[in-house]
Amino acid sequence: MGFNAKAFAAGFLSDSAMRINERVKEAREYKRELKENAEEGKTKITQLRQLGNLAKSEISRLRSLGFEDKHINAAIASGPKGLFDLSVSAQEEAARRNFTSGQKFDEYEIESLIDFSENFSYGDVKSEEFYKMNTALTDPSLGSTQDPQRGLMKTIFGIDLDDAVRSKLDKDAYYDGYSVMDINEISKQETYDSVAPGTYFSFTPTRDFDPTSAASSFNRMVSLIDSTIDSNIRDDVYIKRAMAEGLETDAANARAMELAKLDKRQKLLNQVGLVAKDDPEYINRFRTLLTDNGLTEEDIAGLEYSNLDDEALERKVVRDILKAKPSINKDVENKFSVVHNGVRHEIIIGADKKVKGLIIGGQTAPEEQVDDLLKDMATKGLIPSVQLAGEEPVISTPEVPETTSLDLEIKVPPRPNAFTSRFTGVSLDYETRQQILNGEIDVPDNLRVDEWDELFGDTHNPETGKKLGEEPEIIEQEDTEAATRNNPYTFSESMSNADKNKAYDNLPSGAFYIHPVTNKLSQKK
């Protein structure tokens, strides 16, 4: 029997139609399934929206407390509860410190409270955006699923209809701006998936502060110190130390009182320093009581800055300076200065709130020495006195009679290091030099090399600080007996400057004399 083309064509068309109908039916079922899944996915979209809004509120709350994106983002990356745990901890810490409305943690305080991975690389991303990056809730992407070019034959025979279905279901918003395909894609994702897995973050709150118990503890500490001092006074500890310095009775008694005060101050510094290591707020809470008990502002500054590392110290210095000058433009570089011991110290702070340079006595400090010099300034209590360059008071130089006649009571140190002293040493003004030469003030321990050369280069041994050609002599007994408070030694007007210096050198320790320049009663140490 021959080939029946008509029957073959009829059978082929019938079979094709059947397959086309099946494909269309499958496509309809697929579309229905996708829509059903989307209906279920609406709940997740709603929950993610609510969670995102809550996150925005917590981010805003943290910013109002002084936290920056880098701190918030590190908490977000650490885990699904990281952001909310940080917010709770920060609010509790603020309540613990009795924050007023609008009060913020400064950067130093935040850095002392939190710790996170050093290699965290998302610090410059807005926290709202970073939170979304770590959750399944992405922005709608209508039309992102493209209908492939299937060609005429695939279209006629209903081939690849699933692609066409997905494309149609992605064109229009189905719920809350999201298409069916958007919703289904979000439903597949984990609710939280960190983009920086393994990020470490921790918050260490300060200890709860009870004003009553803290005050009692402070008073007990001071009482114990006072008891120790009183015991030393009864045992003549301080009077013995004073007499060991070669002082007579009246002077020794006065010196003993001074030594007792110094001892109490040092003991208090030691105790407060130990407590402040564990409680950074301790010094601020008890600042008034500390000053009432003999600590100076310099002492307190030393306590505040001494336990800080280089970076933390720099941040605190910058913070304290800028806090004292709230009206200045902080978006530009500023120069601040303060004069200490006749030397102008200048701190240059950039718009990034970092120290850009340090100038001392007109000399730019090497970069590797800046941290040490900055700490020295801070612990000496100079930071609160810093003024914006151009606003500092004009320093007048009073006229003082110049004299090189006598270096009485001058204890000259050896010549300082020629290099380091130019940056770390003290530069002197005219008045201070004359006071040193007149024996009115001691020679600074950290004198600059050029200052040493000007004052003592021609008269003293650079290695020992002793006068050139100095030879001790024993003065006659009658001179020793005459050098008392009631009968002080007097330099004859006919004596040359050299003779006066020699006579002074021959006076024993503790001897009294009339200073030939100031005409005041003085005592040789």
- DSSP per-residue codes, 22-54: HHHHHHHHHHHHHHHHHHHHHHHHHHHHHHHHH
Give the residue from 368, 336, 517, 493 showing the smallest Cα distance to 434.
517
- Residues 6 or more apart whose CB falls under 8 angstroms from that of 123 comprise 68, 69, 70, 73, 74
Per-residue pLDDT reduced to its tens digit, 381-432: 788 778 887 665 544 444 433 444 444 446 788 887 765 565 556 667 666 7
Share of the chain above pLDDT 70, in %: 67
- Residue 67's pLDDT is 95
Total Cβ atoms within 10 A of residue 352? 9
- Do residues 341 and 385 touch, judged by C-beta distance below 8 A? no
Classify the C-alpha dihedral 326-60-131-105 as positive or negative.
positive
Residue 498: per-residue pLDDT: 66
* Gap between the Cα atoms of 165 and 30, Å rounded: 8
Kind and range of the H or E run holding 337: strand 334-340
320-340, pLDDT tens digit by residue?
888 777 778 877 888 888 887
Neighbouring CB atoms inside 10 A of 273's CB total: 15
Residue 486: its pLDDT value, please?
Answer: 72
**CB under 8 Å to 126, separation ≥6 — which residues?**
69
What average pLDDT score do residues 314-323 get?
Answer: 80
pLDDT at 110 over 80: yes
Q: Residue 303 in contact with residue 269, Cβ under 8 Å?
A: yes
Give the span between the Cα atoms of 200 and 209, in whole angstroms. 28
What is the spatial distance between Cα 198 and Cα 77, in angstroms, rounded to a whole number?
8
pLDDT at residue number 426: 66
| pLDDT at residue 45, rounded to an integer | 72
Least confident piece of the model among 178-182, 312-316, 435-439, 464-468: 178-182
Look at residue 113 and tell me whether its pLDDT is greater than 50: yes
The tokens of 492 are what?
Answer: 């004859």
pLDDT greater at residue 499 or residue 186? 499
Over the stretch 5-22, which tens digit does the pLDDT of each residue have? 555 555 544 555 565 556
* E strand or H helix at 215: helix 211-234
Sequence-distant (≥ 6) Cβ neighbours of residue 210 within 8 angstroms: none
